[in-house]
Structure 1
Amino acid sequence: MDLLLAVRMYINKMIDESGPGMKVLLMDKETISVVSVVYSQSEILRKEVYLFERIDAGANRELMKHLKCICFVRPTRENVEALCHEFKHPKYGSYYVYFSNIIPKTDIKQLAECDEQEIVKEIQEFYADYLAVSPHVFHLNIPNVYHEFNWVPETLNRVMQGLSSALLALKKAPAIRYQNSSEMAHRLAERVRQLMAKESALFDFRSNGPQPVLLILDRREDSVSPLLNQWTYQAMVHELLGINNNRVSLADVPNVSREMQEVVLSSESDEFYSANKYSNFGEIAMSIKQLMEEYQTKAKMHAKVESVTDMKNFIENYPQFKKISGAVSKHVTLVGELSRLTAQNDLLQVSELEQELVAGHLDHAECVQRMRQVITNPKVTTLDALRLVLLYNLRFERDPARDSHTFTELLRRKGAPDRWLQLSDKLIRFGGARFRLTDLFHSETVSANAFMRRLAKGIRGVENIYTQHAPLVKDLVDQLVKNRLKEASYPFLGGAQMRERPQDVFVFILGGMTYEEAFAIHELNKANPSCRVCIGGTTIHNAKSFLEEIWNSDLV
């Protein structure tokens, strides 16, 4: 199961079916993102696609009858109407139309009626209605899905379409399980099942093995994972700098060069990133050192151009040399900025306390003392102080000694905006114990096991202090693939049951996933080669985007 390869194959097929010659790629806002995360612009240019246009640009596009038009858009009413207008007033010589999801037959008929000049050579459905971040990770780029902890109909429909598109791309018709405590998860599961029944011919995939399983979860079950600082490369970049459609803005980095103000992080085109995105921060430093040494060796070789043979070798190897040079500049800049922010914001101290909070190493009195020290540290940012307060309130939600007021006042003195001061109460409503099926902190056994946990912490060593937390999804998927996931808490839709262990598993988290969870699934796939797990979400959160999700969740 390779979500990224599936989208690349669709794009290749679109371009190949139009034949040789100069082409324009006509897209909408969302399909531009779908394409950009799996293909660089330079790769597309090598396939004779010389122009990229937006379908909503309308009259602003030039008349270019010598170009073939590959149109890749979502099957929305707005896009169908735009295409109808396009076909009546064509700007290109011929059109090859591909919808990223299922399109109603009535819309196809309407498009056919508008093609009076018979310029449309092809209309097909290619199921690429999701953003493929890596072979096992996808998201839909839809933040803020909660509306008073319920679905807005348009959002529910869009999420159902994106999720079903991923299933169709990989040719899977799964049994569906959902989180029983979440009405939103139940409704999404029902909508996916209804679509599978309605489009039964599309989902008629024959398989010799066990039926795949789709597990639909709600972000509210685990509010801890998005609040933690991260220490693997990909997750750390997203947490501290933000990754948007594989792009990272470095415009605010001190003394950054113009060409480094925005960089691309793609597993497909960046070998170093592909090999190191799940490495921890200490390992990244060593990998960067090796990359620089390789670059320096090649640079010395290129400096010795003394003969015709040397010149020939230089010309042959220059593209690879330039590629390594670009990778060195990019990753040295990125890792340098991560190091600067880590030291400037005292993130090691913050992260250690975060991990001890969620791992249950501290009793309440110890926690309060440590929290005061860290929050009043002038190097610690207001955002990091807020994370600690939110984790504290979740951890000690039902403890009579919990003192939210004191920490709220400390945040106020630190300059936290008023809306941040309201987030503690909002978080309890969002993901407190009343909603959750799971005791995230194992609070019923903390006092009995506190000494053993401290001892284990000492044995494991300092390199593990910052990565003690494992996201809940890791445990749930591990139980699922072993056929041990409780059906009372995560029932099959329609009462279906499975006796065999599943080999293909889709996990979807409404309310957004995290790169920590993507890493956890990657580790599970490595440990269980006979089982293939993909994970997706409505978006990929860092702490800032998750706080926005919480803030908007119960707004009317």
Structure 2
Amino acid sequence: MNLISGIKLYIEKMCSESGPGMKIILLDKDTTSIISMAFSQSDMLQREVYLFELLDSVRSNERLKYLKCIVFVRPTKQNIQFLANELRNPRYSAYYIYFSNIIPRTDIKYLAECDESESVREVKELYADYLCVNPNLFSLNIPHCMANLNWLPDALTRSMQGTTAVLLSLKLNPVIRYRAGSQAAQLLAKMIYDQITKESTLFDFRSNVDGAAPPLLLVLDRRDDPVTPLLHQWTYQAMVHELLQIRNNRVDLSGRPNVPKDFKELVLSGDQEDFYGNNMYANYGEIGSTIKQLMEEFQRKANDHKKVESIADMKNFIESYPQFKKMSGTVQKHLCVIGELSTISNKRNLFEISELEQEMACKAEHSAQLQRIKKLIADDRVTIEDALKLVCLYALRYERHANCDTSSLLQIIKTRGGCPQIVPALIEYAGTHVRQGDLFNMVRITDAVKLTRNLIKGLKGVENVFTQHTPLLKETLEDVFKGRELDPVYPAINSELVPFRRPPQEVIVFIIGGATYEEALAVHQLNNAGYKIILGGTTIHNSQSFINEVLTATNGIQFKHTKSMIKYCSTDNL
């Protein structure tokens, strides 16, 4: 189960079916991102695609009959209308139309009526309606999926369509389970089931062999685990997203001082770059050491290239120069990224902050942790954003503690000019009245394995790295693969497919409210152990995007569970 391979096969199919010759591709904003995350522009050039245009852009009426046109768009009403206008006045010799998801027959009929010149050669559905971030991770780029703690209608529809496309591209007809008690999860699961039932012929591609259990689609709710997105991350991909932000596999460094002009925007794709693909899950210290080794290897090869003394040396230099240049770019790019990460971590005192975050997530020591939080959040060297995250974690951890003192922490935040309304909003969004089970029942971590400081050697400046926290998702998946009873906590929508007692061999997880790179790491580790898991979410969160999601989801609602905090918060946003 490799999402990137699936998307690539679809793109290859589009390019090959149109035959040889120069081609243009018409895209919408969503499919532009879908293609760019799977293929580079040079990859597309190799497939004779020389021009890229947006379907909704204003274009000249110049006819380019020497070009074939590949159309790859989402089957939205707006795109159908744009495409109809194009077909009424065709500018290219032939059109090969591919929709990224299921399209109603009425829309196909409408397009056929508009194609009076009969320039359309092909119309097909290719189920590439999601962003493949990693081979086992997808996103739908929905930054906010709730308002008043209910689904936004467009986000709900998009989530159903994206998840259905994943199932179709992987050829899976799964048992659908959802988190009990989550109306959002139940509603999405029901919509996906209804779509599968409606399009039953599309899903008639796999039968159970030798009594094997059917695959599983598990619909989860971010509100069950609000801790994971708040924690600072120390693995490479997650750390870059937390401190620099990754958008569609790109990192924008244009606002960072001392970054060379050529590195203002960087592409970080594990599929397009071996070094990043091999090291995206490495921790901060390991990636630093690996880059150091890469740099030393580059310096050695650079010295070898200086020794051009014979015809044979010249020939070897010319043959190896492209690889040498590529290695040079890799070294410079990742030195630039790790340098920015190091600068930010030291400036914001993230080692000490992260240590406290991990301790609060993994063990209960109320008095000691409260004093440390008060000291840190009052320190001007600690950013107000980091201070707020610490208070959020404290409020979640000790919401029902007899001596919970969230109010005094909010007063410190307010004194510093911060916006403390995120804390009561977070409790309304994901407090104990919402979560199923005990999120902080972390005996499996803290009693069995005491928190220790992992001293990472090999790179100056890398100190204590904490990676003790395990996301709730990992425990959930372990229960699934151990064959434990799921019905009470994760009831099935299509119970007729659940006579099997064996655990599923393939699992798709979709998290409403966004997944995280820490959860992607947990999925990667389980896949390396022999399981088959795909993780997806409405978006991929870092702490700031998660906080924004919480504020949007709770905007305008009456806070019922945090009355004691209200007087410490700005009333404008409550």
Partner SS state of residue 116, structure 1 = coil
SS at match of 1:167: helix
| In 2, Cα distance between equivalents of 1:554 and 1:386 | 17
Residue of structure 1 equivalent to 2:303: 300
The CA distance in 2 between the partners of 1:226 and 1:206, in whole Å, is 36
Q: What is residue 412 of structure 2 aligned with on the other side?
A: 410
Shift of 1:486: 3.3
C-alpha distance in structure 2 between counterparts of 1:20 and 1:494, whole Å: 46
Report how far residue 461 of structure 1 moved. Answer: 4.8
Partner of 1:190: 190
Cα distance in 1 for residues equivalent to 2:135 and 2:182:
28
Q: Identify the range of structure 1 (120-129 vs 393-402) with the bigger mean alpha-carbon deviation.
A: 393-402
Asked if the contact 1:174/1:213 (under 8 Å) is kept, the reply is yes
Counterpart of 1:229 in structure 2 is: 232
Deviates more, 1:36-45 or 1:387-396: 36-45
Mapped pair 1:65 → 2:68? no
CA contact (8 A) 2:69 2:94 kept: yes
Letter in 2 for 1:248: V
Q: In the alignment, which residue of structure 1 is the partner of 2:570?
A: none
| Residues 72-151 of structure 1: pairs in structure 2 closer than 5 A | 72-151=72-151
Alignment of 1:355-504 (within 5 A): 355-360=358-363, 362-416=364-418, 420-442=419-441, 452=447, 456-458=450-452, 461=454, 466-496=466-496, 497=498, 498-504=500-506
Structure 1 counterpart of 2:293, which letter?
A: Q
Aligned-residue CA RMSD in angstroms? 1.7
Structure 1: any 5+ residue segments left out of the alignment? none
**Which TM-score applies when normalising by structure 1?**
0.95
Contact 1:457 1:465 in 2 (8 A): no
Partners of 1:152 and 1:80 in 2: how far apart?
23
Which of these residues, 518, 521, 525, is aligned with residue 520 of structure 2? 518
| 232, 235, 252: which one aligns with 1:249 | 252
Q: Is the 8 A contact 2:175 2:494 kept in 1?
A: no
Cα shift at 1:257: 0.9
CA separation in 1, counterparts of 2:52 and 2:412? 51
C-alpha distance 485-355 of structure 1, shift in aligned 2 (>3 A): farther
Change in 2 beyond 3 A, CA 1:62/1:304: farther
Q: State the shift of 1:494 in Å.
A: 3.6
Q: Give secondary structure in 2 for the equivalent of 1:71.
A: strand
Measure, in 2, the Cα distance between the counterparts of 1:256 and 1:504.
43
CA pair 456-317 structure 1, distance change in 2 beyond 3 A: same
Q: Among the aligned pairs, what percent are the same residue?
A: 49
Aligned ranges for residues 277-288 of structure 1 at < 5 Å?
277-288=280-291
Residue by residue, what CA displacement relative to the aligned partner does 1:47-103 show, whole Å, maximum 9, x if unpaired?
A: 111111000014357532211111000000111111110001112111110000000
Given that 1:230 and 1:236 are in contact with CA atoms closer than 8 Å, whether structure 2 keeps it comes out as: yes
Task: Summarize deviations over 1:173-209 as a string: whole Å, max 9, x none.
Answer: 0000100110010010001010111100100122424
**Partners of 1:91 and 1:32 in 2: CA distance:** 21
Secondary structure (helix, strand or coil) at the match of 1:56 reads coil
Q: Write the distance in 2 (CA, Å) between the matches of 1:269 and 1:167.
A: 24
Which amino acid in 2 is paired with 1:328? V
Alignment of 1:339-350 (within 5 A): 339-350=342-353
Structure 1 residues 499 and 23: CA distance shift in structure 2, 3 A: same
CA contact (8 A) 1:476 1:485 kept: no
- Give the secondary-structure state (helix, strand or coil) at the position aligned to 2:290: helix
Rounded Cα–Cα distance in structure 2 between residues aligned with 1:63 and 1:148: 50
State the number of aligned residues: 544
Q: Is 1:321 aligned to 2:315, yes or no?
A: no
Secondary structure class of the residue paired with 2:122: strand
Q: Using the alignment, how far apart are the partners of 1:263 and 1:479 within structure 2?
A: 39
Q: Do the aligned residues in 2 keep the contact of 1:80 with 1:111 (CA within 8 Å)?
A: yes
Give the partner amino acid of 2:450. A
Q: Does the residue aligned with 2:57 lie in a helix, a strand or coil?
A: helix
Counterparts of 1:10 and 1:297, CA distance in 2: 41
Structure 2 distance, partners of 1:462, 1:438, is: 34
| Unaligned 5+ runs, structure 2 | 457-463, 557-574
Tell me, in whole angstroms, the C-alpha distance in 1 between the residues paired with 2:257 and 2:147.
39
Task: Supply the AA of the counterpart residue of 2:194.
Answer: Q
The verdict on how the C-alpha distance between 1:309 and 1:368 changes in structure 2, with shifts beyond 3 A counting, is same
Rounded to whole Å, the distance in 2 between the matches of 1:76 and 1:377 is: 51
CA distance in 2, matches of 1:485, 1:545: 34
Superimposed CA distance per residue, residues 221-271 of structure 1 (whole angstroms, 9 cap, x where no aligned partner): 000000000000000000000000000011122211111000000111111
Decide which structure has greater helix share.
1
Q: Is the 8 A contact 1:26 1:72 kept in 2?
A: yes
